[in-house]
Amino acid sequence: MKKYIKIFFFFFLFGNTIYSQISNLGDPLLFNSKIEKTKIYYQTPFVDNFQEIKHEQKRQNSSRDKIYRFGKEHTVSINIFDKAEKTLLPEGDLLYQFGIECKHAISINLQFDKFVLADGVRLYLVDPIQKKMDGAYTHFNNNPSKMLGTELVYSDKVIIEVFVPKEKIGYSSLNLSTIVHGYKSLDDMAKALNSSGSCEIDVNCPLGIGWENQRNAVAMIVNGGGFCTGSLVNNTSGAIIPYFLSANHCGTSPGAWVFRFRWESPTGQTDCGTSAPSVDGPANMNINGATLCASSAASDFTLSLLNQKPDLAWGVYYNGWDRTNIPATQLTSIHHPLGDVKKISRDNSTAQSSSFNSAGSPDSHWKVPSWDQGVTEPASSGSPLFNQDHRTIGQLHGGNSGCGFPSSEQNDDYGKFYLSWTGGGTNNTRLSNWLDPINIGPNFIDGIDPAIPNHKVDGGISNAQIKKSTLCGGILSPEVSIYNSGVDTLFSAIIHYSFGGLKDLIYNWEDTLITNQTKIIPLPTITLDSGNHIFKAYFTNKTSIDENPLNDTITKSFTTISKGEILTLNLNIFCYADENRWEVLDPNQTIVASGGPYSGSNTNPIIDSFCVSSNCYTFKLYDSGNDGIAADNNCLDGYYDLTNSDGTIINQLLPKNANFGSLYSSPFCNSLTETKSDNTIKIYPNPTKTTFTIYSNNVKINRIELATITGQILYLNNDITTVTSIIDVTNFAKGIYLIRIESESGILIKSLFIE
């Protein structure tokens, strides 16, 4: 019965618009019949919807995970402002239109890997014929990752509409990276409303009474062509920080995800485990994008920091958690099965220690033995598992449960919060550094309603940062965040801080900080020697006694290289990025930088940077699939560039060499130049086609090497008797080479361009 009724609800409730922002900025200009619509559409490759559905069903049956795929992702790189059709409006403003057609698609949604909009610019995703839309997106959606993912528009043709005021022309950047062809039929995909099984129980049914707070923390994730679930979680600092817990197999690139909060059937209009349809709820409480903080495959978790705090008017909550290894005696989960409105499931059994698919780490998961009410389904992945005290103890990895299955198969496995707490032992593989930033070590904490402060006077300090660029110099730029978790407004405070032996430094702050407000405080720059350092700071209220001392102190460890250089890695992996990771090793085989594995569905360039001293290193790129980062039928060959602070490529992997097997190892020397040598040694001409000259002025050169960027030495001279050395490169291939000169003044490394 449910499947026949839900199509009516789709057209009744979604026939006009799909909102993605809470601000109503009016309709797109393309809804105006006087605006001529573009007739030029970018067509994506053909997708066989039926075959994609079969493939996804086969994947689900074999993997047992509970991510839900609804769309085929097409990787593109389209500069919208360059490629769009432009219309000059009467007042001098510009209207950009870029049409997209995905033949036979049920829905279309997009991801941008370069999203920077100037104030006043508005972006919509529009079907002007059926008057459906998503937007507006504005400069309020700008974020540090410069990425953005859109909601779904149910059509096989859409137009990207961008309105740019005349005074803001040329001030924005917009690059489209992914087009998602939704291949699920309307009968299965009416915004996924009523798509879940008939035994599922709406969260506002009687079973959900007493779980309203936990309900308000849970959100659905639109991650490209798939759906997952996750939830906001509390931390020990007392500050409201929008940390979001979900599953590692849902992906680890949240910059272009959409987090949809409070999508649930209203109380009194629910389906409580029958074949009756659920009534739709508001779908406009969305956050676009987040930054990955930590992840680990062992317990299948990700922790992300949302780009914005959810609006207090949404009534959100931050769940408490329990990091002990004590089995819960009652189990509850709140989730979005098959991308449907929010549901609740209950098992009155005791949790069992398990490993997912019997192949993971021993005792890495909590098993729900058999659901008594409700189940989970694909898209429930990442949803929180609560114990009898309403605290999070894990997130869903996968399992056998589903409506109509025998009770012996109604089990699911959740990655343990207990194991995720310590994770892989590093900041980016564990929860502890993020959820206990003040290191008080509690076994559990309760959740918090950000609209209800717990104290009258409560200021705190968090998020100590040393700007990455300054870690490569003696002068550091530290900063901290201060916040107000109390009822009373704060007007002044003292920040006491120290760097190891440099103690009793004081910064006097005077400003206004209202409830739940946070401000970044740049501290005075300071000069430190190279080495390991510990930064400590604590917050003191000048005028009142702070009622919560637990969030007044923060500590951060860091390492400086006083004569270092920032190197930037631009890594492009177009498929199966979850198979790849990289390391940079020094001559002692010590790892000085690393990254990955990444999201399996990653299609965006991976940009990372790190500081190194003047030395030679080895870059290693690993692939667990034993085929490198090579193309298959669905993607292109990958590649990477490693550049120095001048933007010069000092190491790279070309697409033609992408199929390297399980390991690509390439030596390189960073292009840091010694000042004294650089002032007395000249290299010219550069670029060159035939020869180049090395001239030394009052300094003896002992050795000259010319090598490829992969470290192969092509020219060597360690018997230099003249001040001028002329080297013939006529027979060398075009490209970038490294010149390494050892002299009595030090080592000089330069790039040489052969045309």
- Would you mind telling me the total number of residues written for the chain in this entry? 755
DSSP 25-80: ----GGGSTTSPPP--EEEPPP--HHHHHHHHHHHHHHH-B--EE-EEEEEEEEEH
Residue 637 appears among annotated catalytic residues: no
User: CA 260 to CA 254: how far, in whole Å?
Assistant: 13
The single residue of 127, 156, 231, 249 carrying the catalytic annotation is 249
| Torsion sign, CA atoms 332, 335, 337, 341 | positive
In eight-state DSSP terms, residue 632 is: B
User: CA 346 to CA 317: how far, in whole Å?
Assistant: 20
Q: Is residue 106 within 8 Å of 182, Cβ to Cβ?
A: yes
The single residue of 113, 127, 300, 340 carrying the catalytic annotation is 300
Closest of 412, 424, 357 to residue 385, by C-alpha: 412
Closest of 51, 54, 59, 56 to residue 69, by C-alpha: 56
Query: What sections of 111-266 are H helices per DSSP?
Result: 186-189, 212-217
- Cα-Cα end-to-end distance for the chain: 71
Residue with tokens 């009523």: 194
User: CA 162 to CA 155: how far, in whole Å?
Assistant: 19
Residue 55 neighbours by CB under 8 Å, 6+ apart: none
User: CA 565 to CA 587: how far, in whole Å?
Assistant: 17
The single residue of 345, 381, 383, 677 carrying the catalytic annotation is 381
Q: Is residue 200 within 8 Å of 402, Cβ to Cβ?
A: no
Parallel/antiparallel/unpaired status of strands 681-684 and 724-728: unpaired
DSSP 506-555: EEEEEEEE-TT-EEEEEPPPEE--SEEEEEEEEEEESSS--S-GGGSEEE
Residue 300 appears among annotated catalytic residues: yes
Q: Report the 3 state secondary structure along 133-177.
A: EEEEECHHHCCCCCCEECCCECCCEEEEEEEECHHHCCCCEEEEE
Q: How many CA atoms lie within 13 A of 21 on its CB side?
A: 20
Residue 665 neighbours by CB under 8 Å, 6+ apart: 618, 619, 620
Other beta carbons within 10 Å of 595: 17
Distances in whole angstroms, Cα of residue 539 to Cα of each of 318, 440, 494, 543: 24, 16, 6, 12
Residue 381 appears among annotated catalytic residues: yes
Hey, is 700 helix, strand or coil? coil
* Pair of tokens at residue 429: 């593989």
Q: Is residue 211 within 8 Å of 204, Cβ to Cβ?
A: no
Parallel/antiparallel/unpaired status of strands 94-101 and 41-43: parallel
**Which residue numbers are catalytic?**
249, 300, 381
